[in-house]
Structure 1
Amino acid sequence: MKRGPLGDTGLEVSELGFGAAPLGRLPRGGERRGIDAVHTALELGITFFDVSPFYGGTVAETVLGKALRGVERSEYVLATKVGRYGEADFDFSAGRVTRSVRESLDRLGTDHLDLVQCHDVEFGDLGQVVHETIPALRALQETGLIGAVGVTGFPLPALAYVVERTQVDTIISYCQYTLQNRRLAAWRDRFARHGTAVITASPLSMGALTNRGAPSWHPAPEDILRRCAEAAALCRDRGEELARVALQFAVNTGGFASTLVGAADPEEVRRDVRWITEPVDDDLLRAVEECLEPVRDRSWPSGRPENQEPGGTA
């Protein structure tokens, strides 16, 4: 597993990161499987773990903490988030995020967090994130409780608005560098000018770029989902899995610090690591790209209306 620097943070992360959100959705009695998934990731060279108190209502943090118990702390990079605690429960106030960090430290069983991120900032007041949330995290950074400070979200203009107004070490944006939507690549230099490292997440576009297809709650417009389903059918007809093509594309062509993929099962982890090392089927990749061309770089709104284009476009 390749590793590289996470911008100027001094951290080194694996090219494939472990997205721990599925640990918050484990079925009854499934905790052991989730813990085994984390251990498998470590064995295969994945060193970057990203979680949030929002995932499963703190369950994901608790399970991840159990899984990492006894693992040498220097062997992994641990990231969590603040500000989002439920579907509609957002609180980016200094007091709440300060408490949130301390609560996460307890659940994760560690004395420090390598990266703490403001979670889905497009649902909050961006001015508050700039002038209150990030300064509160910087204050915690001075105590040694946290290392780097970042922001996450979907609309790239919202992330840029924050990055351009205060020091931000990292950003995570999901579904913005995939076979269907590559907009994040066009914004890379804009973030880099401010010393901000870019992490991409959900290269399978929250399930849309899989043979199984998008879940019923997927927010993408119907024409995007229809084209993704056609790409999946194309792969099935060739005995292939669209997720394999999508993951290989994101990791091999993105050039981002790390690509986060959700997992809660050891076999899923092994499969993902195997896929990124296998040869790319260039003919299949071209066929899938042609299928998705009519909806290339299309996305959807997320968060408050005023946060869709607060800082202009790239």
Structure 2
Amino acid sequence: MSGLPPTFVKGFHDEASVRKMTYNRLGKTGLLLSQLSIGGGTLAPFYENDDEDEAIRAIQYAIKSGVNYIDTAPYYGQGRSEKIIGKALKGIPRQAYYIATKVGRYNMGNTIDEMFDFSAKKTKESIDISLNYLGLESVDILQIHDIEFADSLDIVVNETLPVVEEAKKQGKARFIGVTGYPLEPLKQIILKAPGRFDTVLAYSRYTMLDESLVDYLPFFLEQDLGVICAANHALGLLTNHGAFDWHVAGDDLKKQGRLCGEYCKEQDVELGKLAIWYSAQLKGPATFLVGMATTDIVNINLDSFQNGLNEKESLILTYCLKNFCAKKSHWEGIEIAKLRAAAAKK
């Protein structure tokens, strides 16, 4: 839909910008989300965005411009992302945005045990810590983070999910979601817990490099789940900056991204703009979640969603897809295998 969404607050928003934004129903939640949304992952140190004041300005500017959904997690800087977002939200009308955080994935580390904890005890503690960092009494969506790293999906269903459901009963969350990179575990947990999830977030699975989400999207939509399509820059691969050292993709995939970025820089075009526009052409997801830690990046993304690509950018995108991205690929299984191997050595 176009026009003014329920999150519009007269006197706060830039009404002209809000009217340019598209808003979509998030599955059975009934929430109307802006097609472009804010990802809090880039507020973590591993993205090297250390200007907190600029990040706060970017978040506030994006919300005033009509972006009404924010996603964060304890894992993003071990609370740093939640704290920065909490500061940014001070003074912003609560009506003006929807917000989600997560449980299950926490610390940076070298093994699965150091990074993940799906236990009931940790989940309960995490929810209250996140609300404190955000300065809120409740979030709109509470998500179980990267379920593929759990020892089994049964642990998620029997330990994590009941605590999240109890938090919902207590008014600490309105809806419940699940996130992950591999798509099959997302499908399987939804089948294991029918009707208990409201949203599903898949990241980097519909990009210039990988379109795997297409195979699972009909299932998610048939369940009336709100689909959140995240990390359309493939965790930095599809930007002029390029992949960070920590990126787990294989060399071939990194090479595809690097060649795209180098070509775009030569042509004085930002690959990130092309990447988010490309992903946003997919019909079905309610929103496309992207990190926006600076006002410049917010403007690039707003321009992509509101105005599309110009002729030069369209030609460059076509060239990149044909010459560098023809071989669709992903990094599924690489990270989990590395972490399990490290755990086995301990």
TM-score, shorter chain, exceeding 0.5: yes
Shift of 1:30: 2.6
Unaligned runs of 5+ in 1: 306-314
SS at 2:214 equivalent: helix
The aligned runs of 1:41-190 (5 Å cut-off) are 41-87=62-108, 88-124=114-150, 125-166=152-193, 167-190=196-219
Specify the code of the residue in structure 2 equivalent to 1:107: Y
Residue correspondences, number = 305
Identify which range, 295-304 or 220-229, moves more after superposition: 295-304
Specify the code of the residue in structure 2 equivalent to 1:192: L
Structure 1 residue aligned with 2:36, among 16, 23, 26? 16
Specify the code of the residue in structure 1 equivalent to 2:293: A
Shift of 1:27: 7.2
The aligned runs of 1:191-202 (5 Å cut-off) are 191-202=220-231
Specify the code of the residue in structure 1 equivalent to 2:197: V
Deviations 1:17-69 (A, max 9, x none): 10112223397973221211111111111110001111111111111111111
The 3 A distance-change label for structure 1 pair 250 and 95 is same
Shift of 1:131: 2.0
Partner of 1:289: 321
SS at 1:85 equivalent: coil
Shift of 1:303: 5.5
Shift of 1:299: 3.4
The aligned runs of 1:301-312 (5 Å cut-off) are 301-302=333-334, 304=336
Specify the code of the residue in structure 1 equivalent to 2:58: A
Partner of 1:208: 237
The aligned runs of 1:256-295 (5 Å cut-off) are 256-280=285-309, 281=311, 282-295=314-327
> Is 1:235 paired with 2:235?
no
Specify the code of the residue in structure 2 equivalent to 1:35: I
Structure 1 length normalisation: TM-score?
0.91
After superposition, the CA RMSD in angstroms is: 2.0
Identify which range, 91-100 or 149-158, moves more after superposition: 91-100
Specify the code of the residue in structure 2 equivalent to 1:11: L
Specify the code of the residue in structure 1 equivalent to 2:212: R
Aligned mates of 2:50, 2:287 — CA distance in 1: 31
Structure 1 residue aligned with 2:281, among 252, 264, 280? 252
SS at 1:253 equivalent: coil
Structure 2 length normalisation: TM-score?
0.83
Specify the code of the residue in structure 1 equivalent to 2:41: A
Shift of 1:165: 0.9
SS at 2:243 equivalent: coil
Aligned mates of 1:149, 1:28 — CA distance in 2: 29
SS at 1:84 equivalent: coil
Shift of 1:127: 1.1
Deviations 1:77-108 (A, max 9, x none): 01000111112321111222122111111111
Structure 2 residue aligned with 1:39, among 35, 60, 83? 60
Specify the code of the residue in structure 2 equivalent to 1:30: D
Shift of 1:189: 1.0
The 3 A distance-change label for structure 1 pair 295 and 219 is farther
Deviations 1:91-129 (A, max 9, x none): 111222122111111111111110000111111131111
Structure 2 contact 44–81 (Cα < 8 Å) conserved: yes
Aligned mates of 2:270, 2:148 — CA distance in 1: 33
Shift of 1:238: 3.1
Structure 1 contact 123–303 (Cα < 8 Å) conserved: no
Deviations 1:260-301 (A, max 9, x none): 111221221122111222333443332221124442144331
> Is 1:6 paired with 2:33?
no
Unaligned runs of 5+ in 2: 1-20, 109-113, 338-346
Identify which range, 174-183 or 288-297, moves more after superposition: 288-297
SS at 1:295 equivalent: coil
Aligned mates of 1:235, 1:118 — CA distance in 2: 36
Identity of aligned residues (%): 31
Structure 2 residue aligned with 1:223, among 249, 252, 267? 252
SS at 2:27 equivalent: coil
Aligned mates of 1:33, 1:150 — CA distance in 2: 29
Shift of 1:162: 0.8
